[in-house]
Structure 1
């Protein structure tokens, strides 16, 4: 596998993904009972913006940095920006926190996270990042396979009833990735039926993801919600035109929580023809 997220950290896809991720975590924190997060493709956890990879693409300049320059944004977007800033000196943006670090920032003493990473050097960086955080377990290996050992989650022998499974693979070969995701979702729901599952997916041409969304919606879940942001029309299959998040078993009224972010993203990050979509593919009962 050749994918390195350092080239893309903080871009428009990360913005959407991490706004949704943090909103999900905040929903769990409305109750005192513990929750568990499984991040199947954790990466290295933190990305230095002075790195060769980041400086080569400068994708962050058209992503989170544009939002940082805005005087006023919806609360759900401001929440995300504060989380990014919390990993940086005041008034500076030197690093971008990946999904495991954003989760760790949100955990309470009673909550737990397991982060998986297949690439040895990225896994080593992730282990070093959380070496002194007893709430976080880092596992080197294939996150799809490791979920069998990690679910249902337990702490001191007691099961944790609530939580999130975040699936954000590199999609190096998209046709091969979607069947693996569907298998992982099926296994997750069989082992932990009440889990909220969040899947990030790229959009080059939207019609190519419809089969996956139909298959995922047919799984035994109470609800299925898609949140999508296209920075430009999906006319070219050769570039990342946008991305989306599929949320299975979404928290109550989650669409109302995250919905205000979408017009702001279209306004500040979108090009001509940008669009957003917020659809219940399976409406909560």
Structure 2
């Protein structure tokens, strides 16, 4: 409950997460059928990088600030930067869009979005930020419990066969968070197996993630893809050297779209010995 995304908004981890999120939205909205998106740990959905919280860490300068300054030529990165600029046109030059804002602006009129935030203050701000958007339902509740309660999604008489679940927990419990994540993903895949699931995870010491990767590969998904960005070497004493996205049932050929973008992000955002990784844990037959 002590975590506040406002301290980290726009950092290198956000950049990776949001570039991948928009790539997922692009691929999934290419088909006409409506879809349902669930954001389990949504925060407030919209941030001000000139706030005291953001200024205290200055992390956005090495993330979105650096990327906007260099504006590298890659389609996925360009889409992300255009979304950030659009957010600033609406909300001011220091605004930064969280994942709920990006979902709301990337998805269509007949799509539906549920966003969850457990912290009362953050949930109140989240509700205020999206009060005018009838597509967005705000839930002040635990994100893992929401996965169990809201999936498979049915709103009114509409049952959604297609969808995206974004899971971005704070990892305050360190490696114990992976136990909750794996359990929730296994249950969700049983109830809504055709959905795409996107889990963000921090990289602090790579070898400590190997048990998680083995468990993720054994989940009942058709395919599992890792996309990582590491801005510091693995032996760095820093608390977080990079981050990754575990993508279960990713859209067809998403890996081919991510492949050129990840090295560019590493080159622009990397501090010391940066690297990127795109690897299948399991591919669909």
- Please report the TM-score for the alignment, with normalisation by the length of structure 1: 0.97
Structure 1 residues 161-170 or 231-240, which shifts more?
231-240
Match of 2:235 in 1: 235
Residues 76 and 260 in structure 1, CA contact (< 8 A), matched pair in contact too: no
Q: What pairs up with 1:78-157 in 2 under 5 angstroms?
A: 78-89=78-89, 93-157=93-157
Match of 1:255 in 2: 255
Alpha-carbon offset, residue 94 of structure 1 = 1.0
Q: What pairs up with 1:1-16 in 2 under 5 angstroms?
A: 1-16=1-16
Mapped partners of 2:193, 2:42: distance in 1: 23
Match of 2:38 in 1: 38
Alpha-carbon offset, residue 71 of structure 1 = 4.5
Residues 71 and 78 in structure 2, CA contact (< 8 A), matched pair in contact too: no
Going from structure 1 to structure 2, the CA distance change for 1:204 and 1:109 (only over 3 Å counts) comes to same
SS in 1 for 2:139: strand
Mapped partners of 1:211, 1:3: distance in 2: 25
| Equivalences, count | 284
1:61 maps to 2:67: no
SS in 1 for 2:198: strand
Mapped partners of 1:30, 1:251: distance in 2: 10
SS in 2 for 1:259: helix
Match of 2:271 in 1: 271
RMSD of aligned alpha carbons:
1.2
Mark the runs of 5 or more structure 1 residues left unpaired by the alignment: none
1:172 maps to 2:172: yes
Residues 67 and 268 in structure 2, CA contact (< 8 A), matched pair in contact too: yes
Mapped partners of 2:175, 2:132: distance in 1: 39
Alpha-carbon offset, residue 155 of structure 1 = 2.8
